[in-house]
Amino acid sequence: MSAMLIKGSEISKKIKEELKQEIVNLKENNNIIPGLATILVGEDEASKVYVGAKEKTCKELGIRSERIDISANTTEDDLLVLIEKLNKDPNIHGILVQLPLPKHINETKVLYAIDPKKDVDAFHPVNVGKLMLGVPDFLPCTPHGIQELLVRSGIETDGAEVVVVGRSNIVGKPIANMLIQRNRKGANATVTICHTGTKDIASHTRRADILIVAAGKPKTVTADMVKEGVVVIDVGVNRLETGLVGDVDFEPVKEKAKAITPVPGGVGPMTIAMLMVNTVHSAKMHAGIKVKL
């Protein structure tokens, strides 16, 4: 058995094509151009790459992109003043502060300063709370990308046993929350979260119909830890001397899986696509246009 590859690189292209038309319609019918402001503090090379990719995607789709690069020596107060200015700018519908931040800046304080209605990363506690209640304005980008991969690949989640490896605020906790929602497409699953305190992780992963791995460690999940016919979503990206690898031991696991995401080209491209989705949704909401998530 050789698994079907769930290619986020291809699915994200379809989503972006759909967005292009939405953006054209917004401009023609409502005179609105969605706007995304990205703040980069310092010279972190990985952050520069991520911000550049977001900027490029905005340009491709017709989203107004405002990139603000500031010194690593910027004070926390100056950064908060900048965020407040963007909160009040009617041409900006999404604000993204690229992480990590320099150590002298309180990350939590900065993220909480973003207007929840412009928090297109969905990190603000207001948006986290709304997600838990099942009434989100925005869905967090990587978990939303995972859910779209499942839905658009025809993977049934209703009643499925889902195991999530990793409990981060960015992936593990929100995807678990999204998948247990009752009245949402690509949800209504039974979810188990495994983490560093879990005893005998393999006993849980072997039960999974759908296994989502965001452990942050290469090849955490091996072939003996999964059952035949599992669907595997590998969120991890780890740079080794041999190249990029995920958190799943890809080659042997794909021989047992029904479907699996590759690394690279799996979950990664979906994150930026869903950021663009959130920016367009925000523009609609600010214009009083109802958005269905």
pLDDT in tens, 194-211: 999 999 999 999 999 999
Name, in order, each residue with C-beta under 8 angstroms of 229's C-beta and a sequence gap of 6 or more. Answer: 1, 209, 256, 257, 258
| Residue 241: pLDDT band with limits 50, 70, 90 | confident
Cα–Cα distance, 127 to 118 (Å, whole number): 10
Annotated catalytic residue, options 54, 117, 173, 256: 54
- 103-135: per-residue pLDDT in tens? 999 999 999 999 999 999 999 999 999 999 999
What pLDDT does 27 receive?
95
Q: Given a cut of 70, is residue 243 above it in pLDDT?
A: yes
With beta carbons less than 8 A apart as the criterion, state whether 145 and 15 touch. no
In the structure encoding, which two tokens stand for residue 105, read together?
Answer: 């800046």
CATH class of 141-268: alpha beta
pLDDT at position 240 is 87
The rounded percent of the chain whose pLDDT value lies above 90 is 92
Judge whether 147 counts as a catalytic residue: no
User: Considering 98, 117, 209, 256, which one is annotated as catalytic?
Assistant: 98
Determine whether 21 is an active site residue: no
Across the chain, mean pLDDT equals: 96
Dist CA 104 CA 113 (whole Å) = 16
- Return the pLDDT at 1: 60
The pLDDT of residue 98 is above 70: yes
Architecture per CATH, 30-115: 3-Layer(aba) Sandwich (3.40)
* pLDDT-wise least confident of 40-44, 139-143, 172-176: 40-44
Dihedral (Cα; 209, 214, 217, 218), 10-degree rounding: 50
Are both 30-115 and 141-268 of the same fold? yes
Q: Can you give the pLDDT at residue 292?
A: 80
Q: What is the pLDDT of residue 219?
A: 93
For residue 271, the model assigns a pLDDT of 96
66 sits in which H/E element? strand 64-70
Q: Which of 118, 119, 121, 256 is catalytic?
A: 121
Residue extents of the structural domains in the chain: 30-115, 141-268
pLDDT of 172? 98
- In the block, residue with structure tokens 């939303």: 144
How many beta carbons lie within 10 A of that of residue 77, not counting itself?
9
